[in-house]
Amino acid sequence: MDPVVFFVVLTSIYCALYFFDRFFKSCMHYPYDAFLRNTGLKINFMSIHWHSSASSFNRMLIRWGSSSGNGFLRNSLVKNFNVGVLLSFLLLPIGLILLFITIFNGRDPAGGAAMSTPAVQLEILLPGVNLPLQEIGYYIATLVMCTLLHELGHALAAVLEDVPVTGFGFKLYYCLPLVYTELSHDHLNSLRWFRKLRILCAGIWHNFVFAAICYLVSCSLGLLLSPLYVHNQHVIVTELTPKSPLRGERGLQLHEVITQLNDCPINSEQSWLQCLQQAQHQRLGYCISSDFIRLNDESIDISHHSADGRLQCCDVGNPNVSCFEHVEDVVLAAPLEIPQHVCLHIRNTLEEATAYCQPGVCAQGYCLRPMLPNTTSLLVFKRQNLQQQSLPMIIYVGQPQDVVRSVRVSAFVPRFEELSSAWADSWSLLLRYNVVFSIGLALINAIPCFGFDGAHITSTVIHSFLVGRVDQHAKRDLISVIITSVGTLLFGLALLKVIWLSLLRPLL
């Protein structure tokens, strides 16, 4: 969906909900208030809040925790959450180091690199800043799943430690979803430090496990969808922008399968980009027979140089021909059978070519290379339809970057015409976003920052290990606040840097 349409529809929905909420509260005050209390809903301006303090979900968690008993399942889950505690402590220094690198390195997230080699850093992802705004639906769905599983981890760990789950809620601030779990603070603070850490670190562990599962599913998605799609053998054209130079009756069409670009076979989206990049920097030659050259040479009588310094041996008024230069990797003493420069019809020449040369000696014929401007490449697309029937090749003379910007491809080629690659691509993209967002959420929550799990983890560790050295509870609280403030400052500086370099500075 177009981002503008999405925001207009979402704003209209919020305005309608807010209007009817005000209307029903004024006309049907008591029945409507009873409905809101029973459902736990609360509608504010551009936000929706749902809270449950005694829902079936909470009772299900309690029944599940009591049924686990002291058996194998409970012991396995306890060990599982123990690993989560160790992982959280491992992510803490990693997160702080990445925050320092993000703040103090010279790399520009918007694309300008001041460093010769890219550094690993904590990339703060913002829709419309360093993420495509067109995929905002994926961000919302991903955030809902990641935060829901994060809070579910806290709830499950609390049930295992006999800490009551007093509430569960969901908040939607315009298009930003937030999920939270309410626990009994008295029961939570009465636990020993490691049992308390199991609950505090459970959300981080669940995000990490969820990211690992999504990564495994993403890697095996081609195998899982193999009855419906052929994956990573070729690519299929899924979108052509209105201004694409390859549009038209003689150009690329939707749902056509591209098998090769010049001498580069295409079997995935990555190879598609690599082949286009290779075509931009590589000047290929073609092995042409001497008989074809003599019969089809259209060279003009007097060669001249064009405005850009290139030698011209063709009529500039004929766009179907090009000047070809004979190239060899050795100097021949004997006279050549063909001139050094010949003018040939581009399509007929490429169809006649027996092989590519770069440059080199051809097994048959002579190595000819088209004389094109430095920024222009000759691209030959070999294609077929979904029935694997070969189609005429497409010849494009232009810049490969125009193809990258105007043609969208997919590595999921449908086995049946009724299927679309968009369905498989959507699942693949959603899985990749879940991996990135889940790992990011786990990493950010491990940092001691106000509002994140890291602040509660830091406070628990300080109150547990500094009891013998710092007797006063207020002083331990002060130490915890100082550490958390430093983490919050680092995170805020990293966020401000991303916003400044990617959003504010280009506007100035």
DSSP 67-97: HHTTSHHHHHHHHHHHHHHHHHHHHHHHHHH
* Token code pair at residue 289: 């027979």
Select from 207, 199, 253, 169 the least CA-distant residue to 443.
Answer: 207
Q: How confident is the model at residue 114 (pLDDT cuts 50, 70, 90)?
A: very low
Are 394 and 346 within 8 A, CB to CB?
no
Above 80 in pLDDT, residue 138?
yes
Percent of residues, the chain, with pLDDT higher than 90: 34
Which of 55-69, 185-199, 429-443 has the weakest average pLDDT?
Answer: 55-69
Maximum C-alpha span of the chain: 104
pLDDT at 110: 47
Q: Tell me which residue has tokens 């959280």.
A: 88
pLDDT higher than threshold 80 for residue 61: no
Residues 100, 490 contacting (CB under 8 angstroms): yes
Q: Mean pLDDT across the stretch 79-85? A: 92
Q: How much is the pLDDT for 469? A: 81
**In this structure, how many other beta carbons lie within 10 angstroms of the beta carbon of residue 452?**
21
What local confidence, expressed as pLDDT, does residue 332 receive? 47
Listed residue (485, 481, 484) closest to 448, CA to CA: 484
What sign for the dihedral angle of Cα 211, 213, 215, 221? negative
Give me the pLDDT at residue 178, please.
83
Which residues have CB under 8 Å from 238's CB, separation 6+?
Answer: 254, 255, 408, 409, 410, 421, 422, 425
Q: Please say whether the beta carbons of 420 and 456 come within 8 A.
A: no
φ/ψ bin of 370: left (φ > 0), alpha (ψ from -120 to 50), beta (otherwise): beta
Q: Residue 421: its pLDDT value, please?
A: 92
Give pLDDT tens digits for 360-392.
Answer: 678 888 889 888 877 788 999 999 999 889 999
Confidence of residue 126 (pLDDT cuts 50, 70, 90): low
Q: Residue 316: how many CA atoms within 13 Å on its side-chain side?
A: 9
Q: Among 31-45, 127-141, 165-179, 338-352, which is the least confidently predicted range? A: 127-141
Mean per-residue pLDDT, 408-427: 92
User: Contact at 8 Å (CB) between 368 and 325?
Assistant: yes
pLDDT in tens, 275-325: 999 988 888 889 998 889 888 988 886 666 666 666 778 887 888 888 898
Q: What is the pLDDT of residue 363?
A: 80
Give the pTM.
0.81
289 φψ region: left (φ > 0), alpha (ψ -120 to 50), beta (else)? beta
pLDDT at 220: 94
Query: What percent of the chain is predicted at pLDDT more than 70?
Result: 85
Q: Express each pLDDT in 100-109 by its tens digit.
A: 888 887 655 5
Where helices occur in 282-399 by DSSP H, the ranges are 290-296, 346-352
